[in-house]
């Protein structure tokens, strides 16, 4: 599949950091950055922008905060064709902490929000745009948003200055027909704007759903190396690059980085396909109960987990 | 998704046996059988029918041969609603070894063949049908068959008495648009016949491709518990059952069997998503070079593998 105007965003560090509180070594973050540049990745998302009032340094690594000095230690002035993005959660960032774009190596802010936070998200997005950055809004958990509420969100975004709006399969519960239906709805409501997609791999459909989005006209898609991410993880970047036929992409640098840095993380971090994550995906539920189960002593007792979430739900 | 006339075939033992030469304990095979019955599975494929002249007993476990006595030790007279199937490879079975259906607990023979073997496959299928069994033909490696050869195969099958014909993604290299195109072609060429699908998970698309086939009208689909199978494995049965909404299917017995018997196999058998399998899938190649690589000392050197297969191919 060749798509001229596609943008691939690698959020290995930002999303993978949910697994280890962003305690990646600088060597690893630099290796991911170098691999992304060599692979022709369009945007690397290096972490969250968060207020240091809310999260203690030490417990959280530097990619929870993305202080300018920490960023520059990795990317210098980022004299490459690749853009850098950070993610901001509503309520966890102070406007005054955001410096003007002229003083930052960051290019793009992605604002993640739930449907009831859309007004705050648009305000934050406009704020960073006024400071010179690009912005996207990523609406999480759309599989639980009712149709009227979603129409309201889309109308608000349509009336905003934000150029890119993300479809996010937070629970890894959607499949192709959902993708087609949601992308068509987003496109109809947001003429002239770019639609993005961020999937999760609970039911092994993150890559497949990404393909379906691309077929329907989504033009900005997220992935992580070896699917690194919380719980079941994300769309694997190496699969996405191997699938895309654009000459600008090269999968070998990513494969090398996986071999040298990401695969070895599996000694300490457990992400990917496990039955509890599959169960929450199939049930269209947040994976938090599955993550808690997988962190406990009975992690291999799938039957007890199933009974605790499915049977309880049906009562 | 509710499909009234769907048939799910569990080939955990038959396909998983490619990993360990069918050296499963009788306890494990019985557990899979009991779980399949409890889960409402339509067909369980318990192994290959092979000539004992060609494969030494001892090196190969009983499910490489499916001798009647071995089968009955597990299933008795199979007084259940579930059918039993065996797979036959062209040239590895003697017609005289096949007893009449009245003397066997087997219901269905599935004949696997390459395109150039279709005449032999039809002859074998007709032979077992004349002995009282049902039969399918499973055309392997369709991603490498050219259009004229495929038309010939389909014309031969259309003129045969065989009622079910399988689309097989042998290399795990196909995605939704391939599924749609091939299923439409098969349906057009084979009016009145059932189309089946057997996927492989090299690029994490086995489940997604199964869904696409179901959407297009495929009515017999294969899966294995936890995706057990050679290399990257197959469509996970637990995902498929969780997705299907038919009241006749129950995923908990499968999840319990995975917990007790299949997951523990991972201590000795390595199947699932690994970079070398992904590379052969993305290249539309047989995974044999990846399997050989994964069995060697340099299994974690993905870069060397990539260079050996991709660079060599491009020279």
Alpha carbon of B310: minimum distance to chain A alpha carbons (Å): 10
Which chain B residue lies closest to A261 (C-alpha atoms)?
B300
- What tokens appear for B102 in the block? 């009245």
The answer to whether A234 and A217 are in contact (CB under 8 A) is no
Could A256 and B207 be called an inter-chain contact, meaning their C-beta atoms sit closer than 8 Å?
A: no
Placement of tokens 């997951």 in the chain: B263
Q: Which residues contact A151 (CB under 8 A, 6 or more apart)?
A: A189
At A275, list the tokens.
């039955």
Rounded Cα distance, B7 and B44, in Å: 11
Q: A278, A285, A290: which to substitute to probe chain B, counting the most B Cβ within 10 Å? A: A278
Average pLDDT, stretch A137-162? 98
* Contact (CB, 8 A) for B65 and B98: no
Q: What is the pLDDT of residue A92?
A: 85
- The per-residue pLDDT string of chain B (315 residues; one tens digit each, 9 = 90 and over) reads 788 899 999 999 999 999 999 999 999 999 999 999 999 999 999 999 998 888 999 999 999 999 999 999 999 999 999 999 999 999 888 898 899 999 999 999 999 999 999 999 999 999 999 999 999 999 999 999 999 999 999 999 999 999 999 999 999 999 999 999 999 999 999 999 999 999 999 999 999 999 999 999 999 999 999 999 999 999 999 999 999 989 999 999 999 999 999 999 999 999 999 999 999 999 999 999 999 999 999 999 999 999 999 877 655
Could you say which of A207, A212, A278 has the minimum Cβ distance to residue B242?
Answer: A278
b (16+ CB within 10 A) / e for A62-71 = bbbbbbeebb
Place of tokens 């934000």: A162
- Whole-angstrom distance, CA of residue A171 vs CA of residue A173: 5
Place of tokens 């064709």: A81
Nearest CA in chain B to A302: B259
Which is nearest to B219 in space by CA: B141, B142, B162, B166? Answer: B166
| CA distance linking residue B286 with residue B293, whole number of Å | 13
- Provide mean pLDDT across the span A140-148: 97
Could you say which of A243, A255, A272 has the minimum Cβ distance to residue B275?
A255
Q: Report chain A residues whose CB lies below 8 A from the CB of B306.
A: 252, 255
* Cα A219 from Cα A112, distance rounded (Å): 18
| Rounded Cα gap, residues A113 and B230, in angstroms | 42
User: Looking at chain B, which runs of residues are DSSP E strands?
Assistant: 7-10, 43-48, 83-89, 108-113, 134-139, 164-168, 194-198, 220-223
Angle CA B113–B116–B121, to nearest 5: 40
Cβ of B205 within 8 Å of Cβ of A207? The answer is: yes
Q: Which residues of A touch B252 (CB under 8 A)?
A: 303, 306, 310
Find chain B residues with C-beta within 8 A of A310's C-beta: 252
Please, is B288 exposed, middle or buried when counting C-beta atoms within 10 Å of its C-beta (0-12, 13-18, 19+)? exposed
Cβ contact, residue pair B205, A208, below 8 Å: yes
User: Between B211, B272, B303, which is nearest A175 by CB?
Assistant: B211
- Least Cα separation, residue A258 to chain B (angstroms): 9
List % helix, strand, coil for chain A (3-state, nearest 5). Answer: 45, 15, 40
Which chain B residues are within 8 Å of A205, Cβ to Cβ?
A: 207-208
* Chain-chain contact of B207 with A205 (C-beta, under 8 angstroms): yes
Contacts of B277 (CB under 8 A, 6+ apart): B172, B202, B231, B232, B287, B290, B294
Q: What is the ipTM for the molecules in this complex?
A: 0.95
Contact B252 A303 (CB under 8 A): yes
pLDDT of residue B201: 98
Indicate the pairing of strand B83-89 with strand B194-198: unpaired
Query: A281-290 pLDDT, tens per residue?
Result: 999 999 999 9
Give the distance from residue B208's alpha carbon to the nearest chain A alpha carbon, in angstroms.
6
> Cα(B202)–Cα(B191) distance, rounded to whole angstroms?
31
Q: A242 vs B177: CB contact, 8 Å cut-off?
A: no
pLDDT tens-place string over residues A23-73: 999 999 999 999 999 999 999 999 999 988 889 999 999 999 999 999 999
Contact A15, A230 (CB under 8 A): yes
With a CB cutoff of 8 Å and minimum separation 6, the contacts of A146 are: none
Distance of alpha carbon A269 from alpha carbon A274, whole angstroms = 13
Q: What is the pLDDT of residue B53?
A: 86
The predicted pLDDT at position A314 comes to: 58
A312 interaction partners in chain B (CB closer than 8 Å): none
Report whether pLDDT(A240) > 80: yes
pTM > 0.95: yes
Residue A2's pLDDT is what? 81
Question: What is the arithmetic mean of pLDDT over A190-219?
Answer: 98
* Contact (CB, 8 A) for A161 and A124: no
Chain A positions contacting chain B at CB under 8 Å are 175-177, 201, 203-209, 211-212, 215, 236, 238-239, 242-243, 251-252, 255-256, 258-259, 263, 272-273, 275, 278-279, 282, 300-303, 306, 310
Q: How far is the alpha carbon of A25 from chain B, nearest alpha carbon, in Å?
A: 22
User: Do residues B243 and B209 touch, judged by C-beta distance below 8 A?
Assistant: no
Interface-testing mutation among A31, A169, A178, A208, with chain B (most B C-beta atoms within 10 A): A208
Size of interface A-B (CB pairs under 8 A): 107
Alpha-carbon gap: B74 to the closest alpha carbon of chain A (Å): 24
Residue-wise pLDDT tens digits, A71-97: 999 999 999 999 999 999 998 888 988
B190 vs chain A: nearest CA distance in angstroms?
26
**Under 8 Å between Cβ of A44 and A84:** yes
The CA distances from residue B152 to B9, B118, B149, B189, in Å, are 27, 9, 5, 10
Q: How large is the average pLDDT for residues A160-179?
A: 98
- Nearest 5°: phi and psi at A82? -85, 135
Chain A: residue whose CA lies nearest to B280? A242
Which residue from B minimizes the CA distance to A282?
A: B242
Q: What is the pLDDT of residue B314?
A: 58
Helix (H) or strand (E) holding B13, with range, is: helix B12-16
Q: Which of B65, B68, B113 is nearest to B89 (CA)?
A: B113
Query: Which of A252, A256, A303 is the closest to B259 by Cβ?
Result: A303
């Amino acid at each position: 599949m060749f798509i001229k105007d596609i943008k691939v965003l690698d959020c290995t560090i930002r999303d993978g950091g949910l697994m280890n509180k962003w305690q990646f070594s600088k060597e690893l973050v630099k290796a991911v950055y170098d691999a992304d540049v060599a692979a022709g990745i369009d945007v690397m998302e290096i972490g969250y922008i968060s207020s240091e009032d809310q999260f203690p340094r030490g417990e959280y690594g530097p990619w929870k905060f993305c202080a300018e000095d920490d960023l520059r230690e990795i990317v210098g002035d980022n004299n490459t064709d690749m853009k850098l993005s950070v993610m901001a959660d509503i309520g966890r960032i102070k406007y005054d902490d955001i410096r003007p774009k002229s003083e930052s190596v960051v290019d793009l802010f992605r604002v993640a929000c739930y449907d009831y936070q859309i007004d705050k998200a648009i305000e934050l997005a406009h704020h960073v745009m006024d400071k010179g950055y690009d912005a996207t809004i990523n609406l999480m958990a759309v599989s639980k948003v009712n149709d009227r509420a979603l129409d309201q969100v889309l109308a608000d975004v349509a009336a905003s200055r934000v150029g890119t709006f993300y479809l996010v399969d937070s629970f890894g519960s959607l499949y192709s027909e959902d993708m087609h239906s949601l992308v068509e709805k987003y496109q109809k409501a947001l003429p002239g704007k770019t639609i993005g997609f961020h999937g999760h791999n609970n039911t092994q459909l993150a890559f497949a759903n990404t393909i379906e989005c691309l077929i329907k006209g989504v033009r900005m898609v997220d992935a992580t190396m070896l699917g690194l991410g919380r719980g079941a993880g994300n769309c694997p970047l190496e699969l996405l690059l191997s699938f895309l036929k654009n000459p600008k992409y090269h999968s070998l640098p990513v494969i090398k980085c996986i071999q040298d840095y990401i695969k070895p993380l599996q000694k300490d971090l457990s992400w990917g396909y496990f039955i509890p994550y599959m169960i929450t995906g199939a049930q269209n539920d947040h994976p938090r109960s599955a993550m808690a189960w997988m962190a406990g002593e009975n992690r291999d007792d799938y039957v007890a987990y199933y009974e605790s979430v499915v049977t309880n739900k049906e009562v």
